[in-house]
Amino acid sequence: MPIPLETTGPTMKDYWSPVMCTWCDGCGDYGILTAVKQALVELKIAPWQTLLCYDVGCHGNGSDKLSGYRFHGLHGRVIPFAAGVKMANPTLPVIAFGGDGATFSEGVGHIVHAVRSHYPMVFVLHNNANYGLTTGQASSLTPQNQPMNSAPNGMPEATINSMDFIFSLEPTFVARGFSGDIKHMTYILKEAIKHRGFAFVDMLQACPTYNKFATHKMLLEKCYRVEDEKYDPSDPVKARKLAMDTEKRIATGILFRREDIPNFNERLVPRQGKKTRPVDEVEKFDVSEMMKEFR
Ligand code: SF4
């Protein structure tokens, strides 16, 4: 689906917001927010030409730290809203953001159906392996036995291997970034926005306040860019193995991509051959009588 372009293009200033950031010093949210704005600017997408949807969490408090159309929804429910908007207005680039807690606990059903439905949107996972907003609560991506504020004797439950989980759903775009590498995250996000279907982007994010086991320093030392090693992202078996193997090194970049699968909107038989968008068509209907019921 073509992305609307401006002739001159927006600048970073166009995304400026007067609302001050309240994240802790050293939080990875700063880097991810900058990369999102940079990617949109480089793709010449102005704030009024996109919709950014935020789940609840520390990252969600960034929803008013940039200008443009934004939605801040219920915990774990950002994907259904974003997918609905994309269905109503297929020409609008839509990016949804969720934390590891919301995405792999409260909203785990939504990520399953987003990948299998192949909604044409980007999903950015703010992955700091804990619930930062609720002061260091263990999430389903926190390592098992790791002591956290909600589990001082160590998290008793098994950890979900998020990449193994995502690859089991047969995705068409999987990438991983690191909040300390803004330039690389910008590249990844641009490729994700251009993807035909559902793009899953795992952003490994430092949370210096509550995550003492995957620190910025540790991520800096272990993360490398697959693009520097002439990696071919077309093989799902190799990609899955690489994504899961984080013991010594952590692969970042476009880990898997295929563009030959029609997305959800392209598969909708009643929409085939239509020149208009559902959001245009609904304006033809007079709903004033129906709305009287709500007065
Ligand atoms: Fe960032 Fe963690 Fe602080 Fe939340 S608690 S703002 S994720 S550093």
> What does the domain layout of the chain look like in residue ranges?
5-294
Number of neighbouring beta carbons within 10 Å of residue 215: 14
DSSP assignments along 60-115, one per residue: GGGTTSS-SEEEE--TT-HHHHHHHHHHH-TTS-EEEEEEHHIIIIITHHHHHHHH
Fold (topology level) of 5-294: Rossmann fold (3.40.50)
Query: Closest ligand 1 atom, CA of 57?
Result: 4
Cα 7 from Cα 44, distance rounded (Å): 8
CA distance 78 to 101: 13
| pTM for the whole structure | 0.94
Nearest CA to 218 out of 179, 191, 253, 167 is that of: 179
Q: Which helix (H) or strand (E) holds 125?
A: strand 122-127
> What is the number of the ligand 1 atom nearest to the C-alpha of 206?
8
Rounded distance from Cα 2 to ligand 1 centre (Å): 36
User: What is the residue with the minimal CA distance to atom 5 of ligand 1?
Assistant: 132
Residues with CB under 6 A from ligand 1: 23-24, 27, 29, 58, 128, 132, 207-210
pLDDT per residue as tens, the chain (295 positions)? 445 544 579 999 999 999 999 999 999 999 999 999 999 999 999 999 999 999 999 999 999 999 999 999 999 999 999 999 999 999 999 999 999 999 999 999 999 999 999 999 999 999 999 999 999 999 999 999 999 999 999 999 999 999 999 999 999 999 999 999 999 999 999 999 999 999 999 999 999 999 999 999 999 999 999 999 999 999 999 999 999 999 999 999 999 999 999 999 999 999 999 999 999 998 888 888 888 888 7
Q: How far is the CA of 190 from the centre of ligand 1 (A)?
A: 25
Ligand 1 atom closest to Cα of 208?
8
